[in-house]
Amino acid sequence: MVVSSPLFDINQLNIEQQKKFDTVYNELKSKHTSYLQYKFNLPLKTQFDSEQEENEWRYELHRFLRARKWNVTHTIKSLVEMIQWRIDNNVDSILEHAPMSSRMELLGKVVPNAQHGYTKAHRPLYIEKSGLIHVNKILKMFTSEDLVQCHIYWLEYYCQLARERSRQLGKHVETFAMITDLHGCKLNLRKVLPLFKQSLYIDENYYPERLGQMLIINPPAIFPTLWNLVKHWFDPVTKTKIIVIKKGPGTSTLLLQHIDSDQLPREYGGTCNSCSTAPNCIPVYDWGKDTADDKQEEQEEQEGLEGQEEQKGLEGQEEQEEHKEQNE
């Protein structure tokens, strides 16, 4: 078994790209050396290997260059900001921070999710039942900063999984994949959209080119409304990686085009038997009476939101009628 990631091969780049890569590498050499020293001094159980860190740094440069459309100035600026952001937010020690592990476990109770094997392209696969998020609970139990830290933890964990997969295969893997199940989604999900926007900012500024694929399944009738609110937040390249699969018998067929059957939960047409909770591979926590209270609160709020949407629609019709009368 390969114990280190495949070496970055600069020859995969054309001559012009190689020149730009070397420019960025040389410009940031001192900055990166200082950053490595900072990482090596962290009191962590997992020790960093200098050669592997150097290799990962080259892959990082390549990702940032691609994301910044090979603009050297923008790439250097982005990498300097990324390094400082990681230091300021203690990102390199977040996976060993015990309180964060507990927080992530609690988050799993309000946001049903699971790390579930790999796709056919060897990307680590994350599955989330976003439609079953307890919106009111998540806002009561977590601060905005808590949720940002949870998102950073999640990103670091999946980057680590990709790195481990590279070592296992002897083939570079740097992206991950997601299945976002929107079954049960309600309009009150709009309350967490500002946090979603903040998460996207972190993704695109500090983890560019990490998302390999997002499969959105079971989109509800309100999906177009929600999508119209968020679609302009995505980078154009990121948008091309998002596939929306309409409800119906074809969902499983499309998922199995990207994921082997034994890596997919049975509820999505797979044959997974390896999970301890199989066939319920993505456990949904039972909040008991609290959940019933939440449902009542969410139902009242949902009715209010639908009333607002209906009122907006009526106001729009009145404006159109007034405009028509004026024209006549």
* pTM for this entry: 0.87
The predicted-structure confidence for 22-78, as pLDDT tens digits, reads as follows: 999 999 999 999 999 999 999 998 888 999 999 999 999 999 999 999 999 999 999
pLDDT confidence of residue 322: 46
Alpha carbon distance 267, 248 (integer Å): 13
Alpha carbon distance 227, 218 (integer Å): 14
pLDDT confidence of residue 323: 44
Query: Which residues of the chain have a pLDDT value below 70?
Result: 1-3, 289-328
pLDDT confidence of residue 288: 75
pLDDT confidence of residue 48: 86
What dotted CATH number matches 98-268? 3.40.525.10
Which residues 6+ apart lie within 8 Å of 118 measured at CB? 124, 125, 165, 263
pLDDT confidence of residue 119: 97
- Exposure string (b/e) for 62-86, b if CB count within 10 Å is 16 or more? bbbbebbeeeeeebbebbeebbeeb
List, in sequence order, every residue forming a beta bridge with 176; answer none if it has no partner. Answer: 211
Alpha carbon distance 70, 136 (integer Å): 43
Alpha carbon distance 286, 284 (integer Å): 6
- Please check whether residue 166 is in contact with residue 173, taking contact to mean a CB–CB distance below 8 angstroms: yes
List, in sequence order, every residue forming a beta bridge with 301; answer none if it has no partner. Answer: none
Residue ranges covered by each domain of the chain: 10-88, 98-268
* Bridge-based pairing state of the strands 113-118 and 124-128: antiparallel
C-alpha distances out from residue 71 to 74, 76, 295, Å: 6, 9, 50
- Please check whether residue 176 is in contact with residue 126, taking contact to mean a CB–CB distance below 8 angstroms: yes
